């Protein structure tokens, strides 16, 4: 939440910062601001310009100013402390210090009281301004020392880019919890919350280690620990191209990302198939990870947690060991019972979700083994887990997760199969046949991607309603949960997902004439049961959209729309039903005239609790 970036070098820093902020806008879009060094003769000044609203507002404001600077920092905000006002927008300044911040300073109240005694009072309601005041109070000409001392006092999560008025051309960065990557190339030195802000200039970058200070200048980037020792950071390389982070002719990133799913699946699955069998050798995940356990806990947030729900069903089906799925924010404070025989699997697109990261840390502390399924290379969750399986979805820009979700699903299949092979519960030939089915599901997904007109048509009805229900059992219930979240998230229509059998224990009272019910009935063992539940809602006037496998003869009076999946092994229907729920949410939001890629109040990467 919040995107921050800094640049120093030969190019026009204003342009670089605006471009970087545009790329980071998915992280927050309440307000934006920039600060830059302006020198005339021997005097240096830091100038700050801010606007409420999107980065485009800031760009318009800057267009009318004649700014020639080679060193600047910029911020796009997702408001936490203090409302959406220009005063609360970043950058924040105090004395010689100007900074941008991503994260939350938990003890800002206490620090503010102490700083008042030194005559420093904030003008904003933000925790970030207190950090600027604190660093200024500790600054006597040595930036490293001031930052080090400040970090001893700050409690919470932070990534800062800081400029000191008497150090023109220099940016200092430090982080704890919140992400920061940096790169140096012939264009200059860059720092940002995410590589997407830098990739136009460099595909090689490094993750700034926590509690280290990076000093960026036009000559390079110097990283030191708090004791002043130089630190050599491991370089990473982005394999995708800048085009992947652009809309490429689609109206919205979400639509583009929905269509990228077959490729994302192929890129994620095929490197893990050796001799037709699932194989994690290249990932460095040994079979011994799966043999010494008697329990699995899957923990994640939001969409990633929904992928985990499918993971539970698959792992239990093939391995017959208990699996629980825990919401990371509950798990971390829930006093969980874990030991060395527990495998904790965390799932995260960003790899930076604060609650999921805390779940990894807690699991490690309690002696469990940790395996993460992560999309962003080098992210905190990936680095702090014992083992990591990277999904290869490429950058996901739309706040609503689509391709990151389906590649997470694919990883659940691979883990379930490999685990069962390792424990002797799945023969090689059976595993090979499962893998074949998994690969085939990519073609089936391509077929369902052609259902767009049909689903767009259905969205005409949905766009007008206030409430909606998703129903399913087993695998279809896991999918229903994701369908409901996706719709709420971007169309602002209230929706609930129900395990179909549970509906009559209360919620059926909400089913009245014309309330849409989207029912998934793709699994043979519960097909008749789901159909009975559909009959129940239908007889109470529901507007029913029924999704079934191919070859099912459905009474036409039972539903208003019958969506039929391509013929396939029912184990793999989630890849197709996922597309259906994504399209429904997408077309509904578009018809309601909403900002599909940047829904209100949300941010892509939730780095606060």
Minimum gap (Å) between residue 355 Cβ and ligand AGP:
8
Give the shortest CB-108-to-ligand AGP separation in angstroms. Answer: 24
For residue 468, how many other CB atoms are within 10 A of its CB?
A: 25
b/e per residue, 9-39, with b = 16+ CB within 10 A? Answer: beeebbebbbbbbbbbbbbbbbbbbbbbbee
Q: By C-beta, is 129 or 355 nearer to ligand AGP?
A: 355
* CB of 65 vs ligand AGP, minimal distance in Å: 35
List the catalytic residue out of 312, 403, 486, 604.
604
Task: Tell me how far apart the alpha carbons of residues 571 and 522 are, in angstroms, rounded to a whole number.
Answer: 9
Of the pair 170, 401, the CB lying nearest ligand AGP is at: 401
Backbone angles phi, psi at 258, to 5 degrees: -60, -45
User: Shortest distance, CB of residue 10 to ligand AGP, whole angstroms?
Assistant: 35
Task: Return d(Cα 424, Cα 413) in angstroms, integer.
Answer: 16
Complex with ligand AGP: residue 345 or 515, whichever CB lies closer: 345
Binding region for ligand AGP (CB under 6 A)? 301-304, 348-350, 353, 356, 399-401, 489, 605-606
Query: Rounded CA gap, 135 and 167, in Å?
Result: 15
C-beta of 488: minimal distance to ligand AGP in Å? 10
> How many angstroms separate the CA atoms of 605 and 609, rounded?
11
- Would you say 444 or 605 has its CB closer to ligand AGP? 605
Which position has the token pair 């825990």?
326
| Closer to ligand AGP by Cβ: residue 332 or 434 | 332
Q: Residue 205 or 586: which CB sits closer to ligand AGP? A: 586
Using alpha carbons, select from 128, 139, 69 the residue that is nearest to residue 97. 139
* In the complex, minimum distance from the CB of residue 103 to ligand AGP, in angstroms, rounded to a whole number: 16
Pairing mode, if any, of strands 31-40 and 3-9?
A: unpaired
Concatenate the DSSP letters of all residues of 139-171 into one string.
Answer: -SS-HHHHHHHHHHH--EEEEEEEEETTSTT-E
What kind and span of H or E run contains 229? none
Question: Looking at beta carbons only, is 149 or 259 nearer to ligand AGP?
Answer: 259
Q: DSSP for 244-301? A: GGS-TT-SSHHHHHHHTHHHHHHHHHGGGEETTEE--TTTT--THHHHS-SEEEEEE-
Tell me the sheet residues that pair with 344.
297, 370
Q: Please say whether the beta carbons of 534 and 544 come within 8 A.
A: yes
Closest CB 24 distance from ligand AGP, rounded Å = 15
How many Å apart are CA 196 and CA 22, to the nearest integer?
Answer: 10
Element (H, E) at 310: helix 302-319
Cβ-based nearer residue to ligand AGP, 523 or 605 = 605
Catalytic residue from among 2, 161, 481, 559: 2
Q: Which residue is nearest to ligand AGP (CB)?
A: 302
Comparing CB distances to ligand AGP, the nearer of 179 and 188 is: 179
User: Shortest approach of ligand AGP to residue 268 CB, angstroms?
Assistant: 15
What is the tally of helices (H) and strands (E) in the chain?
18, 26
604 counts as catalytic: yes
Minimum CB distance to ligand AGP, residue 394 (Å): 14
Separation between Cα atoms, residue 158 and residue 90, nearest integer Å: 14
Q: How far apart are CA 98 and CA 298, in angstroms?
A: 41
> From CA 102, how far away is CA 175, in angstroms rounded?
9
For the annotated catalytic residues, the residue numbers are 2, 604
């Amino acid at each position: 939440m919040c995107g921050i970036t800094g640049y120093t070098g030969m190019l026009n820093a204003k342009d670089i910062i605006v471009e970087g902020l545009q790329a980071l806008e998915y992280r927050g879009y309440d307000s934006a601001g920039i600060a830059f060094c302006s020198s005339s003769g021997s005097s240096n000044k830091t100038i700050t310009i801010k606007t409420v609203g999107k980065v485009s507002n800031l760009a318009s404001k800057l267009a009318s100013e004649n700014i020639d600077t080679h060193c600047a920092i910029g911020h796009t905000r997702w408001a936490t402390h203090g409302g959406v006002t220009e005063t609360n927008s970043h950058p924040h300044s105090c004395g010689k210090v100007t900074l941008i911040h991503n994260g939350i300073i938990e003890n800002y109240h206490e620090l503010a009281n102490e700083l008042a005694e030194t005559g420093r009072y904030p003008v904003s309601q933000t925790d970030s301004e207190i950090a600027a005041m604190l660093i200024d109070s500790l600054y006597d000409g040595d930036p490293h020392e001031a930052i080090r001392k400040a970090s001893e006092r700050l409690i919470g999560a932070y990534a800062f880019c800081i400029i000191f008025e008497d150090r023109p051309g220099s940016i200092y960065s430090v982080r704890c919890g919140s992400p920061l990557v940096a790169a140096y190339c012939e264009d200059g030195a860059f720092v940002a919350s995410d590589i997407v802000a830098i990739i136009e200039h460099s595909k090689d970058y490094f993750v700034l280690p926590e509690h280290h200070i990076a000093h960026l200048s036009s000559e390079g980037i110097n990283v030191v620990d708090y004791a002043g020792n130089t630190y050599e950071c491991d370089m990473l390389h982005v394999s995708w191209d800048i085009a992947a982070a652009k809309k490429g002719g689609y109206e919205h990133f979400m639509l583009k990302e929905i269509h990228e799913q077959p490729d994302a699946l192929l890129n994620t699955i095929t490197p893990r198939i050796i001799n037709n069998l699932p194989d994690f050798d290249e990932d460095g995940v040994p079979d011994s990870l799966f043999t010494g356990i008697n329990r699995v806990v899957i923990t994640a947030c939001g969409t990633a947690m929904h992928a985990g729900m499918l993971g539970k069903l698959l792992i239990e089906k093939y391995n017959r060991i208990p699996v629980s799925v825990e919401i990371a924010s509950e798990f971390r404070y829930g006093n969980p019972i874990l030991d060395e025989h527990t495998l904790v699997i965390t799932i995260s697109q960003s790899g930076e979700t604060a609650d999921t990261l805390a779940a990894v840390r807690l699991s490690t502390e309690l002696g469990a083994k940790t395996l993460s399924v992560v999309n962003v290379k080098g992210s905190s969750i990936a680095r702090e887990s014992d083992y990591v399986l990277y999904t290869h979805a490429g950058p996901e820009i739309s706040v609503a997760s689509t391709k990151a979700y389906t590649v997470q699903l694919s990883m659940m299949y691979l883990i379930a199969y490999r685990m069962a092979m390792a424990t002797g519960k799945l023969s090689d030939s059976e595993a090979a046949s499962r893998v074949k089915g998994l690969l085939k599901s990519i073609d089936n997904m391509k077929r369902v991607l052609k259902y767009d007109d049909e689903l767009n048509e259905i969205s005409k009805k949905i766009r007008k309603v206030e409430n909606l229900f998703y129903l399913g059992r087993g695998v279809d219930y896991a999918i229903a949960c994701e369908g409901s979240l996706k719709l709420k998230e971007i169309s602002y229509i209230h929706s609930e997902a129900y395990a179909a059998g549970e509906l009559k224990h209360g919620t059926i009272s909400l089913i009245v004439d014309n309330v849409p019910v989207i029912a998934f009935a793709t699994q043979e063992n519960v097909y008749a049961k789901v159909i009975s539940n559909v009959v129940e809602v239908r007889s109470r006037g529901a507007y029913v959209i029924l999704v079934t496998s191919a070859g099912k003869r459905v009474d036409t009076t039972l539903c208003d729309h019958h969506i039929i999946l391509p013929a396939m092994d029912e184990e793999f229907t989630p890849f197709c039903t996922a597309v259906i729920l994504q399209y429904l949410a997408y077309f509904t939001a578009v018809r309601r005239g909403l900002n599909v890629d940047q829904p209100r109040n949300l941010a892509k990467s939730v780095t606060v609790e």
